[in-house]
Amino acid sequence: MSDEQKKIAELRARLSEVNDLEMAGSLLNWDQLTYMPNGGADARGRQLATLAKITQEKFIDPAIGKLLDDLAKYEESLPYESDDASLIRVTRRDYEHATRVPPEFLMEFNIHSTNSYQAWAEARPENDFSKVQPYLEKTLDLSRRYADFFPGYEHIADPLIDVSDQGMKASTVKKLFSELRDELVPIVKAITSQPAADDSFMHEVYPEEQQLKFGESVVRKLGYDFNRGRIDKTHHPFMTKFSLTDVRITTRVKENYLGEALFSNIHEAGHAMYEQGIDLKYEAGPLGGGTSSGVHESQSRTWENLVGRSKGFWEYFFPKIQEEFPAQLSKVSLDQFYKGINKVERSLIRTDADEVTYNLHVMLRFDLEMQMLEGKLAIKDLPEAWNARFFHDFGITPPEDKNGCMQDVHWYGGFIGGAFQGYTLGNILSAQYYKSALAAHPSISQDMTKGNFTNLHHWLRANIYQHGRKFTANELTKRATGSELTIKPYIEYLMTKYGELYDI
């Protein structure tokens, strides 16, 4: 074994230990968001903080820095996309970022975010913003402090955005969102000026146990591997993993709304199938994860919307859901169902929003984040600012804060800044990737009508999933589609689908 191979082996061993600690923290976090009793919050916050501190200290060990320095020439001698070169490159970036953030800060942040989440989980049902206001004020302070560990930024949000979407800056996102808004607003106006589609059948009583059973059957058919995953209930659905062979999803059920569990199951399964599709040789290391929040979200949105809300998908699944819920759906036609699940309206809740208005919800949150980070919006004024902006964009005002500025968990369990832009980036990329998948396998749409999702799943695995973090989002997108991120396929998709549904 050469000296370089010995050092690569040592680097992998050290990174595996760091990964194991991270995954132990993920397991504690999953338990908190699913089964942990409320009384365990303080202890769980301490436990997570301790793990985060130990993990950080292990990762920023100068020995890892020396290994990276020693391997620099070896990296230069290798092809860019080789596994060893990619491991060194990605680890170096992570290491340089991590060494700027003191372990004590991470410990403080983890304790706070755990307590903040628990406060939100209790305050939201009570519609009591005053209970979370002090937590949110501290979150804003911590978010600014994190950004200051990376001096020289163009905008205070840049270091926060870069964590989840490498290479993206606030200025880039603002420009992209401006272009997208110009395209979306006329479409929203054209559709919402018409009578809304009837989706009353979605709001019949659908027993929880049957919803969970049907939702499980759907994601199993799509390709979610239950030998390496499971579904549990939570307040705000999410995907998490403890290894590439243990990738879990969560859901929530409303018995008076069929779409809640159904589409959250498909959405989270999209995230999970990405992780389950990463090459197992990247297990327990920096390459064994999704490359960015935008790319990750592209997969959940592909399966939830481009697949799960398509006509072909329901040509296969509609008879099956009618069989499961005959009293509620026996008199509903496939066309009625298809129009109902694609109803476009100005609504309050982001996670329930249709494809056409969804990105307006994201842009609202992104703009408010920028104002908070810039010091132009105080936390105490957030509910009023939210309602004013919501009325401007949607023409309606949230009657309660729980369906306004308290509806999303992100600000109450993480940083302010850097989380929401990934949703819209994912929407844009989903159409771009799907267009390339269709070019490679023109039968994909027809396959769906027979319950066959193999060609799509295989294309995504070959072009997106298997690579893990070897490539940045831009590199991956160029490789998969031949071009950088562009809104054109996304607008074409929306205009084609909703142009037919609403005759615009």
How far apart (Å, rounded) are the C-alpha atoms in residues 317 and 303? 14
288, 236 in Cβ contact below 8 A? no
259 and 390 in a single domain? The answer is yes
Q: pLDDT per residue over 115-156, tens digit each?
A: 999 999 999 999 999 999 999 999 999 999 999 999 999 999
Residue 291 reports pLDDT greater than 90: yes
Evaluate whether 315 touches 304 at the Cβ level (below 8 Å). Answer: no
- pLDDT of res. 352: 86
Number of independent structural domains in the chain: 2
* Burial grade of 65 (CB within 10 A; 0-12, 13-18, 19 or more): middle
Q: Are 85 and 75 in contact (CB under 8 A)?
A: yes
Contact 271, 289 (CB under 8 A): no
385 near 368, Cβ under 8 Å? yes
Rounded CA gap, 358 and 355, in Å? 5
CB neighbours (10 Å) of residue 241?
25
Torsion of CA 237, 238, 240, 244, to 10 degrees: 100
Kindly give the residue spans of alpha helices, DSSP state H, lying in 71-128: 72-76, 83-98, 103-126
Considering the domain architecture, whether residues 217 and 123 belong to the same structural domain is answered as no
Q: What does the radius of gyration of the chain's CA atoms come to, in whole angstroms?
A: 23
The reply to whether 148 falls in a domain is no
Assess contact for 480 and 302: CB atoms under 8 A: no
Residue 235 banded pLDDT, cuts 50, 70, 90:
confident
CB 348 within 8 A of CB 355: no
State which of 99, 128, 157 marks the end of a domain.
Answer: 128
Residues 254 and 352 occupy one common structural domain: yes
* Strands, sheet with 246-251, edge to edge from the N-terminal-most edge strand: 231-233, 246-251, 239-243
Decide: 228 and 243 in contact? Cβ < 8 Å.
no
d(CA 138, CA 144): 10
Q: What is the dihedral of CA 116, 122, 128, 132, to 10 degrees?
A: -10
Share of the chain above pLDDT 90, in %: 96
Query: CA quadruple 393, 399, 400, 402: dihedral positive or negative?
Result: negative
First to last CA, the chain: 66
SS3 246: strand
Q: Region 294-312: what's the mean pLDDT? A: 98
pLDDT of 71: 98
Match 């920096």 to its residue by tokens. 286
Q: How confident is the model at residue 351 (pLDDT cuts 50, 70, 90)?
A: confident
Dist. CA 417–CA 39, nearest whole Å: 29
Coil, strand, or helix at residue 239? Answer: strand
Tokens of 414: 């993480």
Mean pLDDT of 172-177: 97
* Nearest alpha-carbon partner for 379 in 33, 177, 138: 138
Render pLDDT for 447-482 as a digit per residue (tens, 0 to 9).
999 999 999 999 999 999 999 999 999 999 999 999
% of the chain with per-residue pLDDT over 70: 100
| 245 within a domain of the structure (yes/no) | yes
81 and 222: one domain?
A: no
Quick check: is 159 in a domain?
Answer: no
Q: Are both 175 and 272 inside the same structural domain?
A: yes
432: tokens are 């771009």
Same domain assignment for residues 229 and 291: yes
10 Å CB burial of residue 87 (0-12, 13-18, 19+) is buried
User: Whole-angstrom Cα distance, residue 14 to residue 16?
Assistant: 5
CA atoms within 13 A on the CB side of 375: 4
Residues 92 and 209 in one domain: no
Q: Over range 433-441, report the average pLDDT.
A: 98
- The pLDDT value given to residue 1: 83
pLDDT for res 328? 98
Helices (H), 282-357: 293-301, 311-324, 326-329, 334-341
* Residue 161 counted as domain residue: no
Q: How many CA atoms lie within 13 A of 66 on its CB side?
A: 6
Which domain does 40 fall in, by range?
3-128
At 335, is the secondary structure helix, strand, or coil?
helix
On whether both 385 and 249 belong to a single domain, the answer is yes
What pLDDT score was predicted for residue 236?
A: 85
Work out the widest C-alpha separation in the chain, in whole angstroms. Answer: 71
CA 32, chain centre distance (Å): 19
| 179 in a structural domain | yes
Tens digit of pLDDT for each residue in 20-43?
A: 999 999 999 999 999 999 999 899
Same-domain status, 117 and 255: no
Residue 211 has pLDDT above 90, yes or no: yes
Tell me whether residue 268 is one of the annotated catalytic residues: yes
On whether both 90 and 209 belong to a single domain, the answer is no
Question: 390 with 467, same domain?
Answer: yes
- Please, which residues have CB within 8 angstroms of residue 67's CB and are 6 or more apart in sequence? 7, 10, 11, 14
Q: 431: number of CA atoms within 13 Å, CB side?
A: 18
Give yes or no for a contact between 404 and 387, defined as CB atoms under 8 angstroms apart.
Answer: yes
d(CA 33, CA 91): 29
Residue 116 shares a structural domain with residue 178: no
The residue from 128, 147, 178 where one domain ends is 128
Q: Binning pLDDT at 50, 70 and 90, where does residue 383 land?
A: very high
Residue 30 resides in a domain: yes
d(CA 391, CA 346): 10
pLDDT of residue 390: 96
Catalytic site residue from 216, 268, 275, 297: 268
Examine residue 133 and state whether it is found in any structural domain, yes or no.
Answer: no
The pLDDT value given to residue 504: 86
CATH number, domain containing residue 220: 1.10.1370.30
pLDDT mean across residues, the chain: 97
- pLDDT given at position 409: 92
- Structural domain ending residue among the three candidates 97, 128, 159: 128
Residue 473 lies in a domain: yes
